Amino acid sequence: MINEIIENTTALDPALLLLFGVWVVAMISLPVVRWTAGDEAVPAGVSAGVLAQTVLVVTLTAVGVGLPIALGAALVVGFGGWLLEFVGSRSGVLFGRYEYTERLQPQVARVPFVIPLAWIMMMPPAWAVASYLVPDGGPIVFAAVAGAAFVAWDLFLDPQMVQWGFWRWHDGGHYLGIPLRNFVGWFVGAFVLTLAVNALFGRLEIPAAPLFSVYAIMWILESIGQTFFWRLRASATVGFVGMGLFVALVLFGGAGG
């Protein structure tokens, strides 16, 4: 499986490989941006990485399903993600009581623009995980596995975003100051959005190998970055295990994609 995924990813059109490279460079340059320009430059660096990954993921999705459907799916996920965050940050429903700070700009109704992009950039990689693990599963099973793979990424994300002051939790919580219901909310959101995309467009015939490669690379970069550069060793360890479980299941136990 490892060789198959590597071969199918490296066989992409050179323009797509260039997009891969731009995204990886944007990710690994973030510590350098902080060292050279200070903490005030971190939001711009984060936004650049999110934008690069969003373009890459939507383009990869379009390879399998065509640009109109890829954009349609991205619109559903992006708007749905924004709506969940808009309602959640005001009501405490789903995720718990939290609020965004002013650090991430621009914002749409007090939700940073990059937040729905973050949903877009990681949902198709989560779908790729599900396509390997439950290729013959029905919509409910597929959405559940994709939702769990998506939540595993947030084990890295939330502690890092809180440390950088992008959002704050009002009441704290059991996971590094983050309420456990937040992860339940992420699962429910990803589950529902996957079902919505499936209902509107059918099971997307996405290119699973390169999108899974995005998921695996994110796992590697987050593990290294939080361990060695951001002093977040607790979330680095938990995220390494959480996302790593899905990476290992695909590489060593996946049924095919």
Q: Which of 176, 182, 140 is nearest to 159 (CA)?
A: 176
Residue where the block lists tokens 């990954």: 53
Q: Which of 159, 173, 201, 169 is nearest to 67 (CA)?
A: 201
Q: Kindly indicate the confidence band of residue 91, based on its pLDDT and cuts at 50, 70 and 90.
A: very high
Residue where the block lists tokens 């650049």: 48
Mark out the alpha helices in the chain (DSSP H runs).
2-10, 14-28, 30-37, 42-65, 67-91, 114-133, 139-163, 181-201, 208-228, 233-253
Chain mean pLDDT for the chain: 96
In 3-state terms, what secondary structure has residue 255? Answer: coil
Mean pLDDT of 55-78: 98
Encoding tokens for residue 164? Answer: 């950088």
Whether residue 257 has pLDDT greater than 80: no
Distances from the Cα of 97 to the Cα of 22, 90, 166, 192, 248, angstroms: 35, 8, 15, 21, 34
DSSP 39: G
Q: Kindly indicate the confidence band of residue 1, based on its pLDDT and cuts at 50, 70 and 90.
A: confident
Q: What is the b/e burial string over 228-244, where b = at least 16 CB atoms within 10 angstroms of the residue's CB?
A: eebebeebbebbbebbe
Whether residue 255 has pLDDT greater than 60: no
DSSP 41: G
DSSP 170: S
Mean pLDDT of 192-198: 98
Q: How far apart are CA 172 and CA 81, in angstroms?
A: 23
Give the Cβ contact number of residue 79 at 10 Å: 14
pLDDT at 253: 81
Which is it for strands 107-108 and 98-100: parallel, antiparallel or unpaired?
A: unpaired
Q: Which of 217, 19, 44 is nearest to 122 (CA)?
A: 217
Domain borders along the chain are 2-253
pLDDT at 44: 96
Q: Kindly indicate the confidence band of residue 122, based on its pLDDT and cuts at 50, 70 and 90.
A: very high
Q: Which of 212, 205, 214 is nearest to 254 (CA)?
A: 212
Whether residue 65 has pLDDT greater than 80: yes
The residues, any chain, with a CB within 8 Å of residue 236's CB and separated by 6 or more, are 156, 222, 223, 226, 227
pLDDT at 254: 58
